[in-house]
Amino acid sequence: MCSRSTPERAIILSESTGKSGGELRGAAAEALRLRARLLAQAREFFSQRGILEVETPLLSRGVVVDRHLDPPVCRYGPAAGGGENLYLQTSPEAAMKRLLAAGMGAIYQVAHAFREGERGRLHNPEFTIIEWYRPGLNHHELMDEVGALVNLLLPEQSKDGTWEKLSYRQLFRDRLGIDPIECGAGELGQAAEKLGVELEGEFDWKDRDAWLDLLLSTRLQDDLGRERPVFVYDYPASQAALARLCPEEPRLAERFELYIDGIELCNGYHELLDAAEQRTRFEKANDQRRSDGREPLAPDERLLEALESGLPECSGVALGFDRLVMLALGADSIDEVLSFPFEDV
Amino acid sequence: MATTYGTSDFRKGLRVEFDGDPYLVVECEFRKPGKGSAIYTLKVKNLLNGRVLEKTFRSGDSISGADCHDQKMQYIFNDTKDWHFMDPENYEQYAVSKEQLGDLWKYLVEEMMCEVTFYNGNPITVTPPNHVELEVEYCEPGAKGNTATNVTKPAKVQTGAEIQVPIFIKIGDVLKVDTRTGDYIERVHR
């Protein structure tokens, strides 16, 4: 483990924060060694389960359109001008699904992903995802596999080797006494106000998902997974992203997230297979982006073609590897596990 | 001229304005569910009364900067109600009340250079150097030879404040004190 008092390599910020030694920016050598060990262990885990490591391009001509994700855009072409704009991926999902549709079977990837404007204690605009897909598994079966990986990599957080599963709906009902599916935007707003959320600026009072996100990230998340890892599953259909809807309750989507020590570590889906539905969701996301004042994005047509040609029944999950290293290290900031945080590139 | 800060400009140390009062951003947290909307939570401290509030924003929101500026000034004297500072350039004097100073009066020694923060032209807070040297005017004698630093006793220093010091400190000693925490750091040999 890293001893913060004697880092072998620690870049000290110019402004001392009053903590001894100032604030670290960039990982100490010991953190990078731990990172390498965890990655090797993860690869071994996948290899033992017969999951194949793949690599896919970081650059693409179209994206998985998401209302809240902005891929950086690169210009590819002669220095003199012209050329085309390519996106840096926000996750390797589209390319990996194309491989699945081509019949590659169970695959995983350790990939860099890029998200414009995401910078904070748990965010770096460029970060590392471990993403994997399991044909034939539903989201509950995949959660169990994620649990096994977490047990292996984070024995301290796993304690007795078990994990909890809690539905999104139950979480809101138990902890806040509100039903996230039935409640209208007004009721959610009132709940937030009662919980002491002081809002400034322009807030769209009619946007239910904005309220749900706000309640989850400011009033629920910090307590999640303190005792043992917690999977939150079956999200509102409005937040389905690329998950299929629950057959018995179409207001819910078969999506899950994993929380450990208040940190969101994974996001996974029982994958949507329907190309037409996926196209409709991309269009809807672009409509929302327009009304949010964001540029619409070019949907990944090759992904849609792959879905049309037939994606096997499967579940897939993305794990934030930097955050996993943070948890293993007991780090407060993602900067402690990155060789060079964004400001230093 | 007050500026406007967008959420991407949010950071610790910004001075901003809410409901006509100046605030200092003491904490800034960016939260974003992987697939959800970003939330910025700011902890802001009212520069006039010290109260701390939490404010929540979504990306794209903005706040007005507070029309604040800092000026190096020399502390010259106090009349137990107000502490008086002088601009060494033009000899203009400004008074800061004991209430506005909070605990900081404890560390202000005559002729010391401080940073005085002005809001709309009026002085509102003072930032002394992080470390100041204060002379002990009175303390109980300590046990001879006891150099332990974990046992403390109060010592009255020249500003009239009481500082917790190790047992071996005696009258006339000069202490280095951290003005941010009020903690004794070491004995200074002049």
pLDDT, tens only, A185-242 = 989 988 998 888 888 776 667 889 989 999 999 999 999 999 999 999 999 999 999 9
CB B64 within 8 A of CB B2: yes
For chain A, the 3-state helix, strand and coil shares in percent, each to the nearest 5, are 35, 25, 40
Regions of chain B with pLDDT less than 70: 1-2, 143-149
- pLDDT surpasses 50 at A20: no
Report the gap between the CA of A209 and the closest CA in chain B (Å).
8
Query: What is the pTM assigned to this prediction?
Result: 0.82
Question: What single string gives the DSSP state of each residue in A26-83?
Answer: S--HHHHHHHHHHHHHHHHHHHHTTPEE----SEESSB---TT----EEEES-TTS--
Report the gap between the CA of A182 and the closest CA in chain B (Å).
19
Q: Quick check: A148 contacting B, CB < 8 Å?
A: no
Q: Quick check: A14 contacting B, CB < 8 Å?
A: no
- pLDDT surpasses 80 at A22: no
Q: What is the pLDDT of residue B143?
A: 66
Task: Give the domains, in start order, of chain B with CATH numbers.
Answer: 4-65 (2.30.30.30), 68-127 (2.40.50.140), 131-188 (2.40.50.140)
The span from the CA of A284 to the CA of A272, in Å, is: 16
Size of interface A-B (CB pairs under 8 A): 90
Query: Which residues of chain A lie closer than 8 angstroms to B34, CB-CB?
Result: 257, 264, 267, 318, 320
The span from the CA of B182 to the CA of B189, in Å, is: 20
| ipTM rounded to 2 decimals | 0.81
Q: Quick check: A70 contacting B, CB < 8 Å?
A: no
- Minimum CA–CA partner of B179 in chain A: A18
- Minimum CA–CA partner of A265 in chain B: B34
CB A212 within 8 A of CB A236: yes
pLDDT category, A34, cuts 50, 70, 90?
A: very high
Q: Which of residues 222-261 of A touch B (CB under 8 A)?
A: 239, 241, 257
Mutate to test the interface with B, among A116, A168, A200, A214 (most CBs of B within 10 A): A200
Report the gap between the CA of A68 and the closest CA in chain B (Å).
6
- pLDDT surpasses 50 at A134: yes
**Residue A3, CA distances (Å) to A336, B34, B84, B97 in order:** 12, 30, 46, 45
Token output for B78: 């106090």
Report the gap between the CA of A14 and the closest CA in chain B (Å).
14
Q: Where are the alpha helices (DSSP H) in chain B?
A: 98-101
Question: What single string gives the DSSP state of each residue in A177-228?
Answer: S--TTT--HHHHHHHHHHTT--B-S---TT-HHHHHHHHIIIIIGGGTTSSS
Three state DSSP letters for B39-62: EEEEEEEECCCCCEEEEEEECCCE
Query: Which residues of chain A lie closer than 8 angstroms to B33, CB-CB?
Result: 213, 216-217, 221, 257, 264
Q: Quick check: A177 contacting B, CB < 8 Å?
A: no
CB A154 within 8 A of CB A328: yes
The span from the CA of A116 to the CA of B32, in Å, is: 12
Closest-CA residue to B190 (of B172, B178, B167): B172
**Residue B116, CA distances (Å) to B76, B81, B113, B126 in order:** 13, 17, 9, 4
Q: Quick check: A19 contacting B, CB < 8 Å?
A: no
Interface contact B54-A198, CB threshold 8 A: yes
Predicted confidence (pLDDT) per residue in A306-330, tens digit: 999 999 999 999 999 999 999 999 9
Predicted confidence (pLDDT) per residue in A62-81, tens digit: 999 999 999 999 999 888 88
Closest-CA residue to A285 (of A64, A67, A63): A67
Report the gap between the CA of B82 and the closest CA in chain A (Å).
29
The span from the CA of A314 to the CA of B173, in Å, is: 75
pLDDT category, A297, cuts 50, 70, 90?
A: very high
Predicted confidence (pLDDT) per residue in A255-277, tens digit: 999 999 999 999 999 999 999 99
| CB-count exposure of residue A82 (10 Å: 0-12, 13-18, 19+) | exposed
Closest-CA residue to A316 (of A35, A99, A162): A99
